[in-house]
A and B are shown apart, each in its own frame.
Chain A
Amino acid sequence: MVGHNIDEGYEFMDPWAQTNDVFEADMRIYEPSINNDTLQYLSNVLYPQIYDGSVGASVVGFPNGYTTPTGRMDLLITEGFFTCNTYWLMTAFNRQFWSYIFTVPPSLHGQDIVYTYYDGPNYPSVENNTLAEIMQRYFTNFVMTGNPNGPDVPYFPSYGNDNTCLNLNLTFIGTVPDNAANERCDWWQKGLYG
Chain B
Amino acid sequence: MTIIGESAGGGSVMHQITAYGGLKGPVPFHQAIVQSPGFQMTPSAYHEESIFQSFLTTAGVGTLQEARGLTSDQLQLANWKIVGESYPYGTFTFSKTPLLSSEENSRKTRLTSFDNKTLRSTATSSQTCPASSS
Contact = CB atoms under 8 A, between A and B. Distances in A.
Contact of B33 (A83, A94, A142): A142
Contacts of A86: 34, 37
Contacts of B113: 91-94
A8 B31 contact: no
A82 B37 CA distance: 6
User: Range of interface residues on chain A?
Assistant: 35 or more
B28 to A, nearest CB: 16
B116 A191 contact: no
B111 A116 contact: no
Interface in A64-100: 77, 80-83, 85-86, 88-89, 91-94, 96
Given A82-B38, A189-B109, A139 B33 contact: yes
B38 A109 contact: yes
Given A85-B14, A89-B14, A14 B88 contact: yes
Interface stretch (A29-37, A46-54, A121-129, A149-157): A29-37
B34 A89 contact: yes
A140 B10 CA distance: 17
B116 A96 contact: yes
B109 A81 contact: no
B110 A143 contact: no
B111 A113 contact: no
Given A14-B88, A194-B44, A113 B37 contact: no
Given A139-B4, A139-B33, A30 B89 contact: no
Interface string A1-20: 11111001001111111000
Interface of B: 2, 4, 6-7, 10-11, 14, 17-18, 30-44, 46-47, 50, 87-91, 105-106, 108-114, 116, 120, 123, 127
27 contacts: A1-B31, A1-B32, A1-B33, A1-B34, A2-B33, A3-B35, A8-B38, A13-B89, A26-B88, A30-B40, A89-B14, A89-B18, A89-B34, A109-B7, A110-B6, A110-B7, A112-B35, A113-B6, A116-B6, A139-B4, A144-B127, A146-B31, A146-B123, A189-B110, A190-B110, A191-B108, A191-B109
Given A1-B31, A82-B37, 17 more contacts: A1-B32, A5-B36, A8-B36, A85-B11, A85-B38, A89-B18, A93-B113, A93-B116, A94-B116, A109-B38, A110-B6, A146-B120, A189-B109, A191-B105, A193-B43, A194-B43, A194-B105
Interface of A: 1-5, 8, 11-17, 26, 29-33, 77, 80-83, 85-86, 88-89, 91-94, 96, 109-110, 112-113, 116, 139, 142-144, 146, 188-191, 193-194
